Amino acid sequence: MEVILNGLYSATTYVILCGDFNINHLEVCSKKQQLESFLASFNLFSTVTFPTRIGANSSTLIDNIYIHINSHNFTVYPIINCLSDHDAQTIELGNLFNNNPKNHYMFTRRTDSNSILTFIDLLSYENWEEVFLEDNVNIIFNNFLNTYLRIFNASFQVVKRKEYNKPNPWLATGIRTSFITKHNLYVIYRKVIKHIIRNIVKFCPLSFKMQNKCTLTC
C-alpha cells in the first residue's frame, strides 16, 4: 500500500481509499493507531463511524473509507443488503468538482520594435569567434546555437501574464473557429470601408470643382 500511495499522492490529486482493512476501528489498539498514523501522512482520514459487520454476538468496524476530509463535504451512511455479513458503505461528496474560475499564468516573450532592434544590434556586435575558429561540425553548431539563444533570450524577455480560465462547456471547437473567422472578416471589412471612405472624401472636392466649372462655362 505504501508503494502505491507514494506513486499516486500529489498536492493536486484527490485519493479515495476504501476496503476491508481487517482492523476494528471501534476499539483502541496499536494496529489501528499505526494504520491511521500511516494514512494521515498522506492526508487521508477515516470517514465511517458506524459498525460495518454485525453478527449475532458482536459488531465491528473493519470496512472504511479514507479521503481528504478538509477538501470535501461528505456524508457516509450504510446500505444493509441482507446478503453478506458486511454492510456496504456509501459516501456522498458535495464539492468533488470545483467549477470556480482559477487564475492561470501564461508565459510569453516581449516582442516589440525595441526588442527587435536590440536583437539586431547584439547580433551585429557578435564576432562569432567560437564558431569560425572551430573545426568540428558538431561543436560549431553547438557554439552557434548557444550564442544565438543567449542573444535571443537577452533581447526577448519572458513575461508572466495572468489569464482566467472561464468554464464554457457549450463553447465547442466549431463555434470558436467560426468566431475567429467572423472576427477576421470584420477586420477586412473595416479596412475596405476605410479605403472606400477615403476615396469618396478625395473624390467629392474634385467633383464639386468640376460642377462649378461646368456651370460657369454654360
Map out the domains of the chain as residue ranges. 2-93, 103-164
Share of the chain above pLDDT 70, in %: 76
CB 119 within 8 A of CB 105: no
Considering the segment(s) 2-93 as one domain, its CATH architecture is 4-Layer Sandwich (3.60)
**pLDDT score recorded for residue 164:** 59
Tell me the whole-structure pTM to 2 decimals. 0.44
CA 23 to each of CA 85, 112, 175, 206: distance values in angstroms, whole numbers, following the listed order: 16, 66, 55, 99
pLDDT tens digits along 154-207: 888 888 877 655 555 556 677 777 878 887 887 787 777 777 766 665 655 555
- CA dist 132 → 125, 137, 146, 177 (Å): 15, 10, 14, 48
